[in-house]
Amino acid sequence: MKRMEEFTDKYWVTPYNFLDEVRKDLTPPEKVRVHDVTLRESEQAPFIALKPDEKIRIAKALSNMGAASIEIFPIISEEDFEVTRELVRMDLDAKIICLSRWRREDIDKVLETGAYGVEIEGPINPFFANAVFGYSEDDIVERFTDVVKYAKDNGLFTVALPWDDFKTPLPFLERLYKSVVEIGGADHVGLADTFGHSLPWTTMWVVNQIKKWIPGIPIEVHAHNDFNLATTVMISAVAAGASVVHTAVNAAGERAGNAATEEVAVALELLLGVDTGIKLEKLYPVSRLVEELTKQKLARNKPIVGSNEFTYQSGMVVDMLTKLKKAGREHTFMPFQPELIGREPGYNCILGKGVGRTLVQMKMSEMGMTATREQYAEIAGRVKTESMIWKGEVPLEAFKEIIEDVLSGK
């Protein structure tokens, strides 16, 4: 575990996260691998379909960004099978790992692609598996273990990824994990909070239980965002010792999406002090690429990469930023600076309802114009009124008209 500096020119976060008293029960690894699931999970989301060349473009960007591995589902279509083979031929820095159902025929298909490894998924909640497939608990353990062993025997790096873990009775969960490792020979096991309902302390407790059941086996964690906890699940799992996180750029994924690559990487690096291998300065460009290709528009207030992250209209905030900039301490305002994640340096201050005299003066100065203190205040007042018509930022032309009217005494 690395100790992050508390104050740099690119970020400033609370030092309390690193107090010995706070961290005494945490056991994070020094380095975490990011297993990016954007290619697979994005197309499980409604209204998203990527063309083969788009998937290849995203995969290149993910690899260049520092993702340790990239997940793709070659079984879904012949196009995806061919894309997988092409990605393998490209010999990217990121390893290509296929998703597979708990079927031997799926493993055979994965082997044809030449992929490095496989994530074998299957529903292990006994109630669900019985109601949907008619499987007993014995059937689940036998089927999962058999397919894991088949993949290992055929030379694949193999991850056993049962899902709906958090609604599965603990004794059965223990039995399954032990079987896929001790009999199946799984290299890693995955813990899936499929419906995103595990609280941080619950996640940590379950990870610690798995560590006791199968000591020394690396734990991967996968979570969805139904309760807006996916990033928290990742952080708490890593704090307890999980060493691989499954994430998707822009939180792409089924329903409310997956844990967001950009959120998890920045939080693990800055708040927990764990190396993710991600080049943080590439997060924003990759986010924009995925946004464009998936046509999934990001919310303005999306954490880390949303457009509001460094945009202000409050007169009080703009005044504080101006004073901090004059003092050479502008970087002390936000927890991290835009350039940390590859955005353009600086803040965007807009003319909206919260505008104050300082912002008006700043904008007019950029235009080569000046006014009296009273005129600046009057212009600010008129901009507030005008913003209610535009329902947001006042356009430059409207701002110029207000200035002309005030300066001419109208």
SS (H, E, C) 100-139: EECCHHHHHHHHHHCCCEEEEEEECCHHHHHHHHCCCHHH
E strand intervals along 32-101: 33-36, 69-72, 95-101
Range 188-204 burial, b when 16+ CB lie within 10 A, else e? bbbbbbbbbebeeeebb
| Helices assigned H by DSSP within 295-372 | 315-326, 357-366
265: buried, middle or exposed (CB in 10 Å: 19+, 13-18, 0-12)?
buried
Q: SS3 of 410, please?
A: coil
- CA 151/CA 140 separation, integer angstroms: 17
Asked if residue 93 has pLDDT above 50, the reply is yes
Residue pLDDT, tens place only, 17-72: 999 999 999 999 999 999 999 999 999 988 899 999 999 999 999 999 999 999 99
Q: Which of 237-241, 344-348, 389-393 holds the top average pLDDT? A: 237-241
Residue 330 DSSP symbol: G
Q: SS3 of 333, please?
A: coil
Contact criterion met (CB below 8 Å) for 204 and 236? yes
- CA 132/CA 4 separation, integer angstroms: 48
Q: Round the CA-based radius of gyration of the chain to a whole number and report it.
A: 25
Residue pLDDT, tens place only, 250-306: 999 999 999 999 999 999 999 999 999 999 999 999 999 999 999 999 999 999 999
Residue appearing with tokens 């996180």: 245
Q: What is the pLDDT of residue 313?
A: 74
Q: How confident is the model at residue 16 (pLDDT cuts 50, 70, 90)?
A: very high
Q: Tell whether pTM > 0.75.
A: yes
Residue pLDDT, tens place only, 357-384: 888 888 888 899 989 999 989 998 999 8
Tokens for 72, please give them: 């793709």
Q: How confident is the model at residue 348 (pLDDT cuts 50, 70, 90)?
A: confident
128 closest CA partner among 194, 182, 188, 191: 194
Enumerate the domain spans of the chain.
15-294, 307-407
Q: How far is CA 372 from CA 171, 351, 377, 378, in A?
A: 75, 19, 9, 10
Domain 15-294 has CATH 3.20.20.70: yes
Q: What is the pLDDT of residue 330?
A: 67
